[in-house]
Structure 1
Amino acid sequence: MTSRVISMGAHIADALGWPFTTVPPGQHLEFIEQIKFTVAGTAAAPSVNLAKLGIDVATVGRIGNDTIGDFVRSTMAGYGVNTDHLIVDPTRQTSASLLPIRRDGSRPALHVIGANAGLTEEDVPWGVVEQAEIFHLGGAFILPGLDGTPMARVLKRVKELGLTVTMDFLMSPRDDAQALIGPSLQYVDYLMPNIEEAGWLVGSEDREEIIAWLHGQGAGHTILTMGGDGVSVAANGRAETVLPAYEIDVVDSTGCGDAFTSGLISGLLDGLDVIDAAERGLACGSLVATGLGSDAGIVDREQVAAFQRTQPRRAA
């Protein structure tokens, strides 16, 4: 089966607890209302949501030879994702995170990079890629075997094959960030970080400066997700358009950016312009925020369209 989208990068299993209010002292017990296990990561979560939206998608990454990896593979396959190109790493565990979710939807994260560290350019299934339409690279900065020059080589070849390239990254502040990502940005058609991470990368909190730097590196479009402030969309060299956020009750912010990615990609495949595709992405991200975990909220394309028609928006 030909996959229209190849999603390569971070594959993570999340263990989420809600609501997190305090760390009990010593060996004391504190009760919470819900614990959930989900497939997450900036390549895996978009794959799941794309499948929900009716898109044929193949996911590419590494998992460990462990029960967590079995969970990631079987869960993704259950949603209809092509998991044939999930490689079992013989020496590393499956990447995983512990996420204690606060009542406002925010959360700290405890993360094991695991098998994601073993992903390299040799893992790209080029015979499958050359038949696809969109190549999504999710997880720059937590893929040490791919970050930097190898990533640029991969994306250059993808562009030479004629595919559209989308990218999201997952980072904390680091001194080498610009050197790692800079060579790849000229091959990215749609760059979709959240505003905080983009600011860490550029070294500025000024959105105009952030956009200008990313455009200067060659990114075709910057699409900055901004939580309650909506989404900034700007084609290279042009002024931004800010799409207002939806009025929702946020349960958990985990996976909202990944859901946005899936909505935007599905919109592009449907022939929508970037603004309308981003509008679908915004709806997808908002739906995921209303539940616990990366797999919450989205049911199918019809539900997303109904949400877009009926859900109130915040003031611009």
Structure 2
Amino acid sequence: MTPAVVTLGLHILDVLGRPVTRIPPGQEVELLEEITMTVAGTAAATAVDLARLGVRTATVGALGRDPMGEFLRSRMTAEGIDCSGLTDVDGLQTSATILPIRPDGGRPPLHVIGASAALTPALIPWPTVERARILHMGGTGLLPGLDGEPTVHVLRRAKDAGLTVVMDFIPTKDPAFPAQLAACLPHVDFLLPNLEDACFVAGTDDRREAIDWYHGHGVGCTVLTMGADGVSVTPRGEHERLLPAYAVDVVDTTGCGDAFSAGFITGLLEGRGPVAAAELGLAAGSVVATGLGSDAGITDRPALDRFAARTPRLTVPA
């Protein structure tokens, strides 16, 4: 299979429970309505959603030699994803997160970086990557073997091979991170963070100032997800477009950004411009918010189209 998209970065096992209103003291038991285990991570969850939307997808990452890694590989293979780019590493557990889901859908993550730390440029299967049309770089900030100059080299090589580069990142409190990310931006066509993360890295609370910061460092287009406030789409040198969110009852926000990325990338592959691609991303992210876990709600492309046609929208943000 020649992939249309390669996702590169975080591959995480999520264990989620809902609704969590408190952490009980001592050995006291707190009963929940639902617990599940899913493929997650900014590369892995996006790959699953892409595959369900009918996109030929390969993924690249690092797993531990443990049952969690076996679970991720088997589930992703069952989705039709090319997992030949997943490397099993010794001495580290598969990256994992425990997520207590609050009644409002919020989820404070308890995370172990684990094997994701072992993902380095040497593990990237370039013959597979260079046959794709799009590289999705997912998880910059939590990839210590790639973050910084190695990521710059990876993105530059992808651009030199003619790929469109899409990136999402997870900011850290490391004071060096903004400069590391800024060095990547000239090689990024579409940057897809959430607004909170985007503002944190840019050092501002103002959305337009944040957009200017990213454009000033060379990114091609900012696509900022804003939860119930929708999405901001701003190609460099053009005016911002604001798209309204879908009106859904939120169960869990885990994976909504990854689903948005999958929908957006699918739109690009279909020849849509960034605004129209973001509309498809909005639908995908909104569907995932209606269930528990990163893979909730997305089944196939026709179902997503039906959701978009039938679901009301909220007010366009200011």
Shorter-chain TM-score bucket reads over 0.9
Secondary structure class of the residue paired with 1:186: helix
1:88-237 pair list within 5 angstroms:
88-237=88-237
Instruction: Write out per-residue CA displacement over residues 108-146 of structure 1, whole angstroms, 9 at most, x where no aligned residue.
Output: 110000000010111111111111100000000000010
Kept in 2, the 8 Å contact 1:14–1:96? The answer is yes
- Measure how far apart 1:174 and its partner are: 3.3
> What is the distance in 2 between the residues matched to 1:121 and 1:216?
27
Secondary structure class of the residue paired with 1:3: coil
> What is the distance in 1 between the residues matched to 2:196 and 2:174?
13
Instruction: Write out per-residue CA displacement over residues 54-95 of structure 1, whole angstroms, 9 at most, x where no aligned residue.
Output: 000000000000000000000111111111110001121000
Q: Which amino acid aligns with 2:168?
A: D
Normalised to the residue count of structure 2, the TM-score between the two structures is 0.98
Secondary structure class of the residue paired with 1:214: helix
Alignment correspondent of 1:267:
267
1:253 aligns with 2:246: no
Kept in 2, the 8 Å contact 1:172–1:200? The answer is no
- Measure how far apart 1:172 and its partner are: 3.8
Alignment correspondent of 2:277:
277
- Measure how far apart 1:204 and its partner are: 0.5
Alignment correspondent of 2:291:
291
Alignment correspondent of 1:29:
29
> What is the distance in 1 between the residues matched to 2:260 and 2:290?
14
Count of residue correspondences: 316
Q: Which amino acid aligns with 1:268?
A: L
Consecutive unaligned residues of structure 1, counting only runs of 5 or more, are none
> What is the distance in 2 between the residues matched to 1:171 and 1:74?
29
Alignment correspondent of 1:58:
58
Q: Which amino acid aligns with 2:72?
A: V
Normalised to the residue count of structure 1, the TM-score between the two structures is 0.99
> What is the distance in 2 between the residues matched to 1:174 and 1:236?
27
Instruction: Write out per-residue CA displacement over residues 18-44 of structure 1, whole angstroms, 9 at most, x where no aligned residue.
Output: 000111111111111111000000000
Consecutive unaligned residues of structure 2, counting only runs of 5 or more, are none
Alignment correspondent of 2:12:
12
| Cα-Cα RMSD | 0.7
Secondary structure class of the residue paired with 2:187: coil
1:68-87 pair list within 5 angstroms:
68-87=68-87
Secondary structure class of the residue paired with 2:38: strand
- Measure how far apart 1:173 and its partner are: 3.5
- Measure how far apart 1:307 and its partner are: 1.2
Kept in 2, the 8 Å contact 1:38–1:294? The answer is yes
Alignment correspondent of 1:311:
311
> What is the distance in 2 between the residues matched to 1:55 and 1:80?
10
Secondary structure class of the residue paired with 1:293: coil
- Measure how far apart 1:170 and its partner are: 1.5
Give every structure 1 segment of 4 or more consecutive aligned residues whose post-TM-superposition deviation is greater than 6 Å: none
> What is the distance in 1 between the residues matched to 2:171 and 2:25?
30
Kept in 2, the 8 Å contact 1:186–1:218? The answer is yes
- Measure how far apart 1:299 and its partner are: 0.9
> What is the distance in 2 between the residues matched to 1:182 and 1:92?
30
- Measure how far apart 1:310 and its partner are: 1.3
Alignment correspondent of 2:40:
40
> What is the distance in 2 between the residues matched to 1:171 and 1:72?
24
